[in-house]
Structure 1
Amino acid sequence: MTRWLKNVGYLSLKELRSLFSDPILLVLIAYMFSAALYIISNMPTTELKNAMVAVVDHDRSTLSYHLRDSLLPPQFKSVTEVDPKNVERDMDTGQYTFVLEIPANYERDVLKGENPHIQLSIDATAMTQSSIGSAYIANIFSRELAIFTGKTQVESPINPVIRVLYNPNFSNKWFMGTMQLVGNLNLLILLLVGSAVIRERERGTIEHLLVMPVSASEIAVAKIIANGGVLLAVVVASLTFMVREALGVPILFSQYPIFILGTIVFIFSIASLGILLAIIAPTMPQFGLLCIPTYIVMYMLSGSNSPVENMPELAQQITQFSPTTVFSSYVRDVLFRNAGIDIVWEQLLKMVVMGTVFLTIALIQFKSMLSRQG
């Protein structure tokens, strides 16, 4: 066992020297977990944000001011009062997306039980924002009117109360940042570990390994430790400086140990799969053609972009055998819900089992590959 560990250590150092001797690859790793992650997390979304609203208030009552004050950031900018004569010009120039016109005696008519209407003018050239924003305004005003008049909006005997404990503003980048971290890690660990095996074969250094007193398990584990260790350090740094600081996601430092533990197990699982794919593919181009579709299918079905429950039943069953699906669920539980090890231990066990199966098959095939190479 001591000899096995010593050989793994020497081979791991060899892998690290090979990795750090490739500056282009190091730049790619840094880019994927910094600039690429930030750009994708801040991509334009369909959620309403900083909508420009103006109001023409003919009533100037307590209720009218209450409605105006209910349109809050980050969905809306501060409501601006404008002159009725300038409404058409301001909307034509794109200064406002929404203009509310509150009629005179609006509060009095509401208290009398009548149904007065507020006119909402919309700049329809901003199609997505105008459609979503009008629905936002209608729901907000309905709720505020119910509170003001003391009437309930729900006639059902069940009155649901929704409490959003995480991401109360439903900021898309909070979810995108963490899920993109999972996707980038998945892709890079597949490419790095798999290409390390292919590189040994194409450069002819596989013959050196054949005459050395090392086993297939030592070679495979060394590649996993070296490449996985580098990516683990980069992921932790990206989670701290990009996701937590740059994107403003409220991640607690107490969540780091469980997250790191899950990341280590995920890296082991995906790296084992990467070695298996590299053994199946004889050349680097063929490995790329095999690796990229595998990554895309795993990531698209992982639940990172859309809920697994929305997929066909067969896809839901198949994706449960993917480490990416399990790790995506693990990350959501740990970072979004602050789950402890007593809740996520089953997900860790699943990833360990899948990684062990991948590595066992890879080692069996690795021996036959060395024999063919020899």
Structure 2
Amino acid sequence: MRSSNILHLGIKEFRSLARDPIMLALILFAFTFAIYSGATAMPETLNRATLAIVDEDQSPLSKQIADAFYPPYFNVPAMITTRELDARMDSGLDTFALTIPSGFQRDVLAGRTPEIQLNVDATRMSQAFTGSGYVQSIVRQEIRSFVKRYREKESATIGLAVRARFNPELNKTWFGSIMEVIKNVTMLSIVLTGAALIREREHGTVEHLLVMPVTPFEIMVSKVWSMGVVVILASALSLYLVVQGLLAVPVEGSVPLFLAGTALHLFATTSMGIFLATVSRSMPQFALMVVMVILPLDTLSGGVTPRESMPEFVQWIMMAAPTTHFVMLAQGILYRGAGFGVVWPQFAALALIGGVFFSVSLSRFRKTIATMA
């Protein structure tokens, strides 16, 4: 092995990437707009849900109920008629439609049990499930305060002091932005290395490399380190400019320590990208295989849902995936300010998994080179 060969081959990868505007656009998008939109969209929480109200009663009580819905959980309600209700729900303008019947206040004050109709667009599953409970709770509370002429306070028998650590505002943006960075590090490392190898095979430059005094090991290491450097630089800039700058998310721990863990993670995922490229025959086939790999890595690594909520056999299987240890490492450092003494088991696991993935990918890469020679 000659280090000069690895260096020059890596520089060649930088030049190839610089001449690929699609890949450059993907990198820019993944570490800027994708992180910002993923952190602020909040798809699984109730945020500015659309609500329409059919007020057939036109009473002080019905107006009090309508005034109780306001941002950030709901948009200001649209006051509509019965004729508009179905059309607006069918066109997707409203997630919730509340119908207050005529004589509602009179029946409430008379001690009767009048009914309010709540229509829910259940195709918006996350907001429909959470929001329907919010709507029912708000309506009950407003009716209760109207009847009793005051807004009662619940008296607790114990004093419960709630302290939220690491995210005192319970702000999803703090969690979502960093998890988007972690997800895109994995995705781009696999895509960039695999696409670089397939691009050379499609352009015929692999045959040129075969007649040069370089080994498959040198070729593979050059792709791993060059694409790894690109992803590390992009993730570092994203943390400083987008996460900490634009989104104002505090990072508790050491960013250099996180980047060191990222380098070990990239050692495994870039090797995985080369392995997928040797199995694939074309770029479209490689793209389909990446989707099949990225989805379980992203969903089952603990970045989307806690690992403890998954079946035990899934937890055991995912311990062989580098993303599981990378998520644990990143959350420990960036959220909780953990030092190396806390996250060293994840560093060791990533180094071990990376070594295994690199060996398997190198073996497959050598066989592919041999068939082309």
Task: Give the alignment's Cα RMSD to 1 decimal.
Answer: 3.2
Match of 2:62 in 1: 88
Give the Cα separation in 2 of the matches to 1:305 and 1:133.
27
One-letter code aligned to 1:203: H
- Residues in 2 aligned to 1:90 and 1:125: alpha-carbon distance in whole angstroms: 20
For residues 264 and 157 of structure 2, what CA distance do their matches in structure 1 show?
A: 50
Q: Is the 8 A contact 1:33 1:184 kept in 2?
A: yes
Q: Is the 8 A contact 2:42 2:172 kept in 1?
A: no
TM-score (norm. length: structure 2): 0.74
Distance 1:173 1:285, change over 3 A: same
Show the counterpart of 1:366.
Answer: 365
1:351 matched to which residue of 2?
A: 350
Q: Which amino acid aligns with 2:157?
A: T
- Cα distance per residue 1:302-355 (max 9 Å; x no partner): 111111111112111101110111101111101111100001111011111111
Q: Which residues of 2 match residues 39-188 of structure 1 at below 5 A?
A: 39-47=37-45, 86-89=60-63, 91-92=65-66, 96=70, 128-129=130-131, 131-132=133-134, 145-146=154-155, 152-153=157-158, 162-188=162-188
Within 1, Cα distance between the matches of 2:60 and 2:192?
60
User: 1:106-140: per-residue Cα shift (whole Å, max 9, x none)?
Assistant: xxxxxxxxxxxxxxxx99678634624776999xx
* 2:23 aligned partner: 25
How far apart are 1:153 and its partner, in Å? 2.9
Q: CA deviation at 1:200?
A: 1.5
SS in 1 for 2:175: helix
Q: Residues 125 and 38 (structure 1 numbering): CA distance in 2 closer, same or farther, change over 3 Å?
A: farther
Partners of 1:358 and 1:329 lie apart in 2 by 20
Ranges in structure 2 where 5+ consecutive residues have no aligned partner: 50-57, 77-115, 121-127, 142-151
Distance 1:204 1:49, change over 3 A: closer
**Cα displacement (A) at 1:269:** 1.1
Contact 1:91 1:123 in 2 (8 A): no
Do residues 202 (structure 1) and 202 (structure 2) align? yes
Report 1:225-244 matches (<5 A).
Answer: 225-244=225-244
Q: Secondary structure at the match of 2:174?
A: helix
> Shift in Å at residue 162 of structure 1?
4.5
- Code of the aligned partner of 2:158: Q
Indicate conservation of the 8 Å contact 1:275/1:362, yes or no: yes
Please give the per-residue CA displacement for 1:229-285, whole angstroms capped at 9, x wherever unaligned.
111111011111111122221114x51111111111111110011111111223222
Instruction: Assess if the C-alpha contact under 8 Å between 1:48 and 1:129 holds in 2.
Output: yes
2:263 is equivalent to residue 264 of structure 1: yes
Alpha-carbon distance, 1:369 to partner = 1.0
Distance between the aligned counterparts of 2:343 and 2:285, measured in 1? Answer: 36
**AA at the equivalent of 2:184:** N
Greater CA drift, 342-351 or 285-294: 285-294
**Contact map agreement 1:45 1:172 (CA 8 A) in 2:** no
Q: One-letter code of the match for 2:35? A: L
Residue 86 of structure 1 and its aligned partner are, at CA, apart by 4.4
Measure, in 2, the Cα distance between the counterparts of 1:168 and 1:26: 37
Q: TM-score scaled by structure 1?
A: 0.74
Structure 1 gap ranges (5+) = 52-83, 99-121, 155-159
CA distance in 2, matches of 1:123, 1:215: 72
CA contact (8 A) 2:301 2:323 kept: yes
- The AA in structure 2 aligned to 1:345 is W
Shift of 1:95: 5.8
Aligned residues: 307
SS at match of 2:254: helix
The one-letter amino acid of 1:152's match is T
Conserved? CA contact 2:189–2:273, under 8 Å: yes
C-alpha distance in 2, partners of 1:263/1:133?
44
Check 1:95–1:279 CA distance in 2 against 1; reply closer, same or farther (3 A cut): closer
Partner of residue 306, structure 1 = 305
1:24–1:45 distance in 2 versus 1, CA, 3 Å: closer
Same amino acid, percent of matched pairs: 34
Contact 2:278 2:365 in 1 (8 A): yes
CA contact (8 A) 2:277 2:286 kept: yes
Q: CA deviation at 1:48?
A: 5.5
CA distance in 2, matches of 1:328, 1:280: 27
Distance in structure 2 (CA, Å) of the matches to 1:208 and 1:302: 40
Q: Residues 161 and 317 (structure 1 numbering): CA distance in 2 closer, same or farther, change over 3 Å?
A: farther
Structure 1 CA distance, aligned partners of 2:308 and 2:69?
Answer: 41
The residue that corresponds to 2:7 in the other structure is: 9
- CA deviations on 1:54-87 (whole Å, 9 max, x unpaired) are xxxxxxxxxxxxxxxxxxxxxxxxxxxxxx9645
